[in-house]
Amino acid sequence: MNLDLDDRERAFRDEARAWLAEHVPASPLPNMDTAEGFEAHREWEAVLAAGRWSVVSWPAAYLGRDASLLEWVLFEEEYYRAGGPARVAQNGISLLAPILFEYGTPEQRERYLRPMADGTEIWAQAWSEPEAGSDLAALRATAARDEARGGWVLNGQKTWSSRAAFAHRGFGLFRSDPSARRHKGLTYFLFPLDAEGVTVRPIPKLDGHPGFAEIFFEDVFVPDADVLGAPGDGWRVAMSTAGNERGLSLRAPGRFCAAADRLLTLWKERGAGSAALGERVADAWIAAQAYRLYTFATLARIERGESVGADGSVNKIFWSELDVRLHETALALLGAEAELRGAGAPCDGAWMDGYLFALSGPIYAGTNEIQRNIVAERVLGLPRGDR
């Protein structure tokens, strides 16, 4: 594969770099899992959208730039290198939007994509339930047909829904045909989080902020216009989202390459004297570069018309374990100072915050144990284990 950029790609990267240098906030925004931080991050989404940098790979009609997958990766590299804030609109943009483009009606695309792109409406993913995480097909929340009103009535509970504490809308799976087998009879719904009958109960993460919420549904009416894909076809629709989440769209390499570069700087400032720590820094930095190159190889395959399929699980295991390693190495370099918070804390406490979040990488988007089963069976062709 030729890794040299062509003129269009170079121009795109340079334009992104210049815009980000001018617009990325000089100091970090407050944590997005607080009411204040959530609003500050929404405002940032609006700034990004005004510059048409919030959804570069989308069509221009929906505030995008029709950018190629490679350009999107280049943008992400520039974004993280410039220290761009975490994206509060991410669940909508990377998990729901691809599904809206593939399965949504023209009306749904018209209604939802632009407010998603400019941060007016923030979406939460409502899939997991107390007894249905890894085994998603065990979900129990129901959707009952309401012919008279032309829609469905939702009941049940979802949990671990990121952003739901402050978000505006949710997308989720419900069992619409209790007589059908597990994966059948599920339907994919879009709904407002302030609808009558919806109760959102925030759950704090390790850092104490309400990064998640439980969502309770009590006779919540959703019209047919907000069914995504065909009724009963929710599993197939949802699995397209799962592929996006585990594969490329959630974790472009720019994020890890930028962290690896920051780790290298930290090592230069603090690491002298420990060869063992130096080796860990080098290993993490090399792994970030390897992930970048693997991503380019994946891009080349997609451009040749091949699908990523179960290889997305290799990606997911790799980026999530790399993220933990990068942060653990930084904490080892900082020693006891890594625990400091507030004024005077090294790097504003960002390595500890990043570490706490990195710990969740092997869990969300499908736990790594399950991803390893997928790799073993579908990529390596090993026999199915006992379960």
Ligand X SMILES: Cc1cc2nc3c(=O)[nH]c(=O)nc-3n(C[C@H](O)[C@H](O)[C@H](O)COP(=O)(O)OP(=O)(O)OC[C@H]3O[C@@H](n4cnc5c(N)ncnc54)[C@H](O)[C@@H]3O)c2cc1C
CA 180, 173, 245, 360 dihedral sign is negative
Question: Does position 85 bind ligand X by CB under 6 A?
Answer: no
Which residue has tokens 């890794």? 3
Q: How far is the CB of 336 from ligand X (least distance, A)?
A: 27
In DSSP terms, 281 is beta-bridged to: none
CA 20 to chain centre: 21
Burial class (CB in 10 A: 0-12, 13-18, 19+), 39: middle
Query: How many residues are present in the chain?
Result: 387
Find the catalytic residue in 71, 245, 279, 369. 245
* Stretch near ligand X under the rule CB under 6 A, chosen from 36-44, 120-128, 308-316, 335-343: 120-128
Q: How far is the CB of 251 from ligand X (least distance, A)?
A: 13
- The binder of ligand X chosen from 177, 364, 376, 377 (CB under 6 A): 364
Which residues, 6+ apart, have CB-to-CB distance to 108 below 8 Å?
100, 190, 225, 226, 228
Question: Does position 244 bind ligand X by CB under 6 A?
Answer: no
Measured from the CB atom, the residue of 75 and 212 that comes closer to ligand X is 212
* Stretch near ligand X under the rule CB under 6 A, chosen from 25-33, 40-48, 142-150, 156-164: 156-164
Of 249-308, binders to ligand X (CB under 6 A) are none
- The answer to whether the CB of 193 falls within 8 A of the CB of 164 is yes
Which residues, 6+ apart, have CB-to-CB distance to 352 below 8 Å?
331, 338, 339, 341
- The binder of ligand X chosen from 21, 36, 101, 134 (CB under 6 A): 134
Question: Does position 108 bind ligand X by CB under 6 A?
Answer: no
Question: Does position 367 bind ligand X by CB under 6 A?
Answer: yes
Tell me the C-alpha distance between 349 and 355, whole Å.
Answer: 10
Q: How far is the CB of 362 from ligand X (least distance, A)?
A: 8
- The binder of ligand X chosen from 68, 90, 155, 162 (CB under 6 A): 162
Measured from the CB atom, the residue of 345 and 376 that comes closer to ligand X is 376
Measured from the CB atom, the residue of 161 and 298 that comes closer to ligand X is 161
- Rounded to 10 degrees, what is the CA torsion of 92, 111, 157, 151? -150
Q: How far is the CB of 248 from ligand X (least distance, A)?
A: 18
Q: How many CB atoms lie within 10 A of CB 130?
A: 11
> Any catalytic annotation for residue 245?
yes
Minimal CA–CA distance to 32: which of 211, 214, 215? 211
Q: 345 in helix, strand or coil?
A: coil
Question: Does position 369 bind ligand X by CB under 6 A?
Answer: yes
Question: Does position 120 bind ligand X by CB under 6 A?
Answer: no
Question: Does position 319 bind ligand X by CB under 6 A?
Answer: no
* Stretch near ligand X under the rule CB under 6 A, chosen from 113-121, 123-131, 138-146, 273-281: 123-131
Measured from the CB atom, the residue of 160 and 235 that comes closer to ligand X is 160
Tell me the C-alpha distance between 73 and 250, whole Å.
Answer: 11
- Catalytic residues, by residue number, are 245
Site residues, ligand X (CB under 6 A): 125-128, 133-135, 160-162, 360, 363-364, 367, 369-370, 373, 387
